[in-house]
Amino acid sequence: MIIYRNHRKKCFYTILSSSILFCFYLFLTPYISILNFKNALDKKNIFKAKSYIDFPLVRMNLKNNLKIQLQNRFSKDKSMSTVTSFLITPAINVITNSVVDNIVNKNGLSILLNTSELSKDFNVDNNVLPNNEISQKSLKKKNKLSFTYSSPNMFILSSKNEQYQKPLKAYWQRRGLVEWKLISIELPIDMIDYLR
C-alpha cells in the first residue's frame, strides 16, 4: 500500500512538473520566434526570415494603418476645401502604396525593425538583405523594447525610439501551437512626418 502511494505521488509530481514546463515553454515561444527572426536578419538568411513574416497580411495592415493616419492628418487641416480634400485621397493612396512597397520587403523590414527608421532607398533589391544601409549611428541608438501579450494568440513587440513620441509596434500572431508570424506593423504617427 505504501509503495502504491509513493508511486502515485511520484506520478503526480512528474505530471505536474511536466505540465508547468510545457506551459512555460508555450509562454516563451513568441520570444524564441522573435529571437530566431532577428538572428536570421543578422545572418542575412532571407529564407529563414521570410518564414516568420506573413507578407500579404503585413502589407494589408500597414496600408490600412497608413491610410487612416494620413487621412486623419489631412482632415485636421481646416484650411482645405472639399475639392482639395477630394483630390488628396488619390495622393494618399499613391503615398501609402509607395511606402508599403518600401517597407514590406526583406530590406525594409530589416531596417525598420533594427533601427525603428524607414528605409531611404525606394529602389532596393528584395533578394538581398542590406549590408551598408543600416548606419552605425542608427545602430548605436538604443531602442527601448517591451514585450506584451494582448491575448493568448497575439504578442506585441514595441520599440520606442527617442525621436518619436510613440513606439513602433510589431504584432505577432500564433500559428499552430508554437509557431509565430509577424502580421502587422504600426508606425508611430511622428514617423509619417518623414514622408513629407
**Cβ-contact 175, 52 below 8 angstroms:** no
Residue 167 pLDDT:
87
Q: Got the DSSP string for 160-172? A: E-TTSSS-EEEEE
For 92, the grid coordinates are 494618399
Cα separation, 10 vs 13, in Å, equals 5
Residue 195 pLDDT:
54
Residue ranges, the chain, pLDDT below 70: 1-4, 77-85, 106, 115-116, 118-142, 192-196
pLDDT per residue over 95-149, tens digit each?
888 888 878 876 777 777 776 676 655 444 444 444 444 444 444 456 788 999 9
When computed from its CA atoms, the radius of gyration of the chain, rounded to whole angstroms, is 22
Residue 156 pLDDT:
94
Domain that residue 133 falls in: 2-195
Three-state DSSP class for 51? coil
Cα separation, 78 vs 33, in Å, equals 46
The total number of structural domains in the chain stands at 1
Residue 16 pLDDT:
93
**Phi-psi label, residue 120: left if phi above 0, alpha if psi -120 to 50, beta otherwise:** alpha
Residue 128 pLDDT:
45
Residue 192 pLDDT:
66
Cα separation, 83 vs 32, in Å, equals 51
**Phi-psi label, residue 116: left if phi above 0, alpha if psi -120 to 50, beta otherwise:** left
Residue 97 pLDDT:
84
Nearest to 100 by CA among 188, 187, 196: 187
